[in-house]
Amino acid sequence: MKFRWAAGLVAFTFASLSMASFTFYGSRASFNAAIPGAVVEDFELANISFGNSASIPSPLDKTTNNAIFSTGSIKDGVRFVGQNDPGFEGFYLGNGFGPYLTKGLSTDFTGTGIASVFTAGNVRSVGLDILQNFGNGSTQVEIFGTSGLLHSEWITVTNWQGTFYGFSSTDIITKVVVYDGQIFNGYDGVDNVAFSTAVPEPATMTLLGLGLAAVLRRRKS
């Protein structure tokens, strides 16, 4: 499925690999409007000056204490780990360096996947900017819940700006994995990782459903 139909479409819902139902958001603005007050990890507390980069051991969470992140610098409720590559050793953090307009986190040059693991419990809404450095412009996003893989899709990624990916789920979300499958070629990253226990209000869901129905009618006409 291509990433969203159009910028003007706020969101849509559907059932995915499991019985979970999802609401996807085409922009951070629409995500924030539906899920206000989400916790956001933007990595801005990292001790790294603009125009520089650094390597950081994995995992990265609130307990991390090194030259780049002190204890408590990462928000409580999320942990970042490598996925799919047993040779993974650490993360790469850039600040106004290469594709990073601000401080952003990616995997190292082995090209492993990057997983945002939600330890807060009962997380049902997630929004994040997905980065890709030196890749082919597409990457796979996998959403996991307590019952396993809930949803998987390939999306187009803007290398230098990042691509927003946001959703709410009827199931609890345990982690989101971003992985383009390119060992030693491209590497994926995340920034501005928002998470919340909230889901859209029933009235909002009804409006979203009506909006989707209208779009479908227009597409058939």
User: Tell me, what's the pLDDT at 216?
Assistant: 43
pLDDT at 3 over 70: no
Q: Is residue 1 part of a domain?
A: no
Asked if residue 140 belongs to a domain, the reply is: yes
Q: Which residues contact 117 (CB under 8 A, 6 or more apart)?
A: 78, 79, 80, 81, 174, 175
Domain with 16, as residue range(s), is 11-220
Read off the pTM: 0.83
Per-residue model confidence (pLDDT) at position 5: 33
Q: What pLDDT digit, counting tens, does each position of 64-106 carry?
A: 999 999 999 999 999 999 876 555 667 888 888 766 778 989 8
| CATH code for the domain in which residue 117 is found | 2.60.120
In a domain, 2, yes or no: no
pLDDT tier at 183 (50, 70, 90 boundaries)?
A: low
pLDDT of residue 13: 54
DSSP code for 61: S
- Structural domain includes residue 187: yes
pLDDT tens digits, one per residue of 202-217: 544 444 444 444 444 4
Q: How many CA atoms lie within 13 A of 136 on its CB side?
A: 13
The better pLDDT of the pair 217, 113 is held by: 113
Alpha carbons 56 and 16: distance in angstroms, whole number: 35
Q: What's the structural domain count of the chain?
A: 1
